[in-house]
Each structure stands twice: as structure tokens, then as C-alpha cells.
Amino acid sequence: MNPQPFNAEDLARRKKRAIIMALVLIGLVVLFFATTIVRLGGYTAPMTGG
């Protein structure tokens, strides 16, 4: 069995994906925070509909 199945190119690709994932997670944190602030202002349809 090959002890090092991922070559340098694979690892570079993985690193790039990890950076994008980190940015997405940071974006989600900002999104949730901003949404909370906006919702506190009451600009939305009733949560349960109707």
C-alpha cells in the first residue's frame, strides 16, 4: 500500500479548498450576526406564516 497517497498537487488543492471553506464559515458567522440584527428590527413576515 502506498504510504503517501496524496502528492504535492493534491495537498495544494486541499489547502485551497480548506481556505475557501474557512472563508465560507466566516461569511456565515457575519451573515447570522447581521440577520439577527435585522430581524430584531422586525422587517420580516411572521415566522409561522399566514
Partner 1 sequence: MDLVIATAIPPVQYVACHKVTEMSDIQYDISSQTEALGGQGTAGDYFALLKPRVMSLVIFTAFVGIIAAPGTLHPFLAVVALLAIAVGAGASGALNMWYDADIDALMKRTRSRPVPRGAILPGEALGFGATLAAGSVLALGLMVNVVAGLLLAFTIFFYVAIYTMWLKRWTPQNIVIGGAAGALPPMIGWAAVTGAIDLGAISLFLIIFIWTPPHFWALALFREDDYEAAGVPMLPNVAGRDETRKQTLLYTLVLIPVAFLPALLGVCGLLYVAGVSVLSVMFLYYAINVYRLRQGAAADKACKKLFGFSILWLFLVFALIPVERLLHIASLTSVLP
From the CB of 50, what's the least distance to partner 1, in Å? 6
48 binds partner 1 (CB under 8 A): yes
Examine residue 33 and tell whether it contacts partner 1 (CB under 8 A): no
Q: Which of 15, 22, 32, 33 binds partner 1 (CB under 8 A)?
A: 32
- CA-to-CA separations, 28 to 20, 24, 35, 43, in angstroms, rounded: 12, 6, 10, 20
CB of 47 to partner 1, least distance (A): 5
Return the number of other C-beta atoms located less than 10 Å from residue 23's C-beta.
10
